[in-house]
Structure 1
Amino acid sequence: MRHITLIPGDGIGPEITEAVKAIFSAANVPVTWEEENAGQTTFDAIGELIPSTLIASLKENRVALKGPITTPVGKGFKSINVQLRQMFDLYSNVRPAKTTPGIDTKFSNVNLVLFRENTEGAYSGLEIFDERLQISDSIARITRTGCEKIIRAAFEYANKHNCKKVTAVHKANILKSAGALFLSIFSQIAKEYPHIQADDKIIDNMCMQLVVKPEQFDVVVTTNLFGDILSDLCAGLVGGLGVVSGANIGSDMAIFEAVHGSAPDIAGKGLANPTALLRSAIMMLHHIDLKEEAGRIEAALDATLANKEECTGDLGGRAGTMEFANNIIAKL
């Protein structure tokens, strides 16, 4: 039995978390949930955004599933997601984007995985504000170590999953130093995988290519800010943030998460779509080598998504959160 830290989050987080727990229970997945929380909910309750009990649980279990978390806005708090990534060196943000039958989009053949460096770049927290001059300087720190880890993770994934190509995304035509460092390391590591095609795209051209011909990409690797933007763009190609999975992976810890917001406007109404969190949980099962269970749940989910009437309102159906979960359970 594998112990997993479960972070329900707030807003719709607890509802979609309960749906995933019900599906896992019905599928007899051999995991035990150790529930801790973070964000606005815990801050209101105990005055802490990231409780020490959560940190202890993560250190002990090394694997977590996380719902959407709200960081209080306008009070000087640093993003909880960023803090967790940097605290545990979860350097690899992995975001698959794949077309799903039954989910209507403008594209029918998207199948790519984005690797975003997760701990440095524009989100390093290196900001200087000159009150007198009213000038803000934000430093996007790029390190050789950070580049090597995320680029190697992308190539290792491509190698393991028989992907044909890895594409590096950058802005080396303007960001001369950072771009040169990222591209030089990409070129060096690519030589270790001669059977995988390696190419690169400037970020603005990449955005255009993704909305014109997304099927040309397999694995994409980039820095933090570019990856943050591209990951949401890629989600839009396959149905939106409500249907895509996400993972933050380091050398010895991984946090799998729903990447959408906490949607407080519909919280408690039983309307939320749990697909994103469930797909993240399926990624988690693959990560801990429970592949048979992952396959069964994924097949049941895909069969449900293919029937619009059995889906939640955002996908054109009439099912509530738990009704949708029960539709999945019925197909296990």
Structure 2
Amino acid sequence: MAFELANSRLRKHLTIIHKSNVLSITDGLFRETVRAVPSLPAISGKYDGVTIAEQLVDSAVYRLFREPEIFDVMVAPNLYGDILSDAAAALVGSLGLIPSINAGDKFVMGEPVHGSAPDIEGKGIANPLASIRSAALMLRHLGYTKGADRLDVAVDQVIREGKVLTPDLKGTSTTKEVLHAVLGKL
């Protein structure tokens, strides 16, 4: 999946995130497995244009804050992915903005990076934008690019206008108000 995503991007750049200098067996296996993908007989040559880089997870977090432009597609074990996605959320202003999908060969599930946020359940202050963007990621993954683009544009418009935002973005709007603002842009 990481190679497919990297191959579809302009830069065609994939960074393997690991800590194999300390976790030599588990992270070493992860690192070697990712590096072996392009040479698998069934896909040989398919990812020749993808540049592969590596970064230790602690250094990756530092560089994500200092030089975010060096990264394009990152592939990491779950723990490191959770850490990196939360760090990336700080760069854009809120966990409530960051979507994710978990995709396999036979399934795809979208969810905000922040998960279900049970600590604010029922308070009407949860930012719905990460959930909406997760739906857009799922649509894109399933081949519905136009619908995904429409959702992304609507979310972008609401954010740029800055009138209807939840408290995590220094706004005073409720979850439903932000949702209705996005629906209005559609």
TM above 0.5, one fold? Answer: yes
**TM-score category (smaller protein):** 0.7 to 0.9
Does 2:64 correspond to 1:210?
A: yes
1:237 aligned residue (91, 99, 112): 91
Q: 1:265 Cα shift?
A: 5.0
Alignment of 1:45-84 (within 5 A): none
Residue 172 of structure 1: aligned partner: 20
Question: Number of residue pairs matched?
Answer: 180
Rg comparison, structure with higher value: 1
Higher relative contact order (CA 8 A, sep 6+): 1
Does 2:42 correspond to 1:194?
A: no
Alignment of 1:129-148 (within 5 A): none
Structure 2, unaligned stretches of length 5 or more?
40-44
Q: Please, which moves more after superposition, 177-186 or 251-260?
A: 177-186
Alignment of 1:96-135 (within 5 A): none
Question: 1:325 and 1:186, CA in 2 relative to 1: closer, same or farther beyond 3 A?
Answer: closer
1:184 aligned residue (32, 35, 38): 32
Residue 3 of structure 1: aligned partner: none
Percent of aligned pairs sharing the same letter: 40
Residue 6 of structure 2: aligned partner: 158
Return the alpha-carbon distance in structure 2 between the equivalents of residues 261 and 189 of structure 1.
30
What's the secondary structure of 1:330's corresponding residue?
A: helix
Give the structure with the larger helix fraction. 2
Does 2:146 correspond to 1:292?
A: yes
Answer whether contact 1:270 1:321 (CA < 8 A) is retained.
yes
Answer whether contact 2:136 2:152 (CA < 8 A) is retained.
yes
The one-letter code of the counterpart of 2:173 is A
TM-score (norm 2): 0.85
What's the secondary structure of 2:25's corresponding residue?
A: helix
Return the alpha-carbon distance in structure 1 between the equivalents of residues 146 and 23 of structure 2.
45
Q: 1:264 Cα shift?
A: 4.6
Question: 1:295 and 1:261, CA in 2 relative to 1: closer, same or farther beyond 3 A?
Answer: closer
Answer whether contact 1:258 1:276 (CA < 8 A) is retained.
yes
What's the secondary structure of 1:272's corresponding residue?
A: coil
Q: 1:298 Cα shift?
A: 1.6
Q: CA RMSD in A?
A: 2.0
1:48-95 deviations in whole A, cap 9, x for unaligned? Answer: xxxxxxxxxxxxxxxxxxxxxxxxxxxxxxxxxxxxxxxxxxxxxxxx
Question: 1:227 and 1:321, CA in 2 relative to 1: closer, same or farther beyond 3 A?
Answer: closer
What's the secondary structure of 1:310's corresponding residue?
A: coil
Residue 21 of structure 1: aligned partner: none
Return the alpha-carbon distance in structure 2 between the equivalents of residues 250 and 281 of structure 1.
16
Question: 1:304 and 1:183, CA in 2 relative to 1: closer, same or farther beyond 3 A?
Answer: same
Question: 1:159 and 1:262, CA in 2 relative to 1: closer, same or farther beyond 3 A?
Answer: closer
Return the alpha-carbon distance in structure 1 between the equivalents of residues 71 and 165 of structure 2.
29
Answer whether contact 1:308 1:316 (CA < 8 A) is retained.
no
1:272-298 deviations in whole A, cap 9, x for unaligned? Answer: 211111111111221232222222222
Answer whether contact 1:272 1:321 (CA < 8 A) is retained.
yes
The one-letter code of the counterpart of 2:29 is L
Return the alpha-carbon distance in structure 1 between the equivalents of residues 145 and 174 of structure 2.
28
Residue 42 of structure 2: aligned partner: none
Return the alpha-carbon distance in structure 1 between the equivalents of residues 123 and 57 of structure 2.
40
2:108 aligned residue (248, 254, 258): 254
Q: 1:205 Cα shift?
A: 1.5
Answer whether contact 1:247 1:280 (CA < 8 A) is retained.
yes
Answer whether contact 1:154 1:220 (CA < 8 A) is retained.
yes
1:245-267 deviations in whole A, cap 9, x for unaligned? Answer: 01111111111112325445543
1:164-194 deviations in whole A, cap 9, x for unaligned? Answer: 3111111222222234323333333345423
Does 2:83 correspond to 1:226?
A: no
Structure 1, unaligned stretches of length 5 or more?
1-152
TM-score (norm 1): 0.50
Residue 40 of structure 1: aligned partner: none
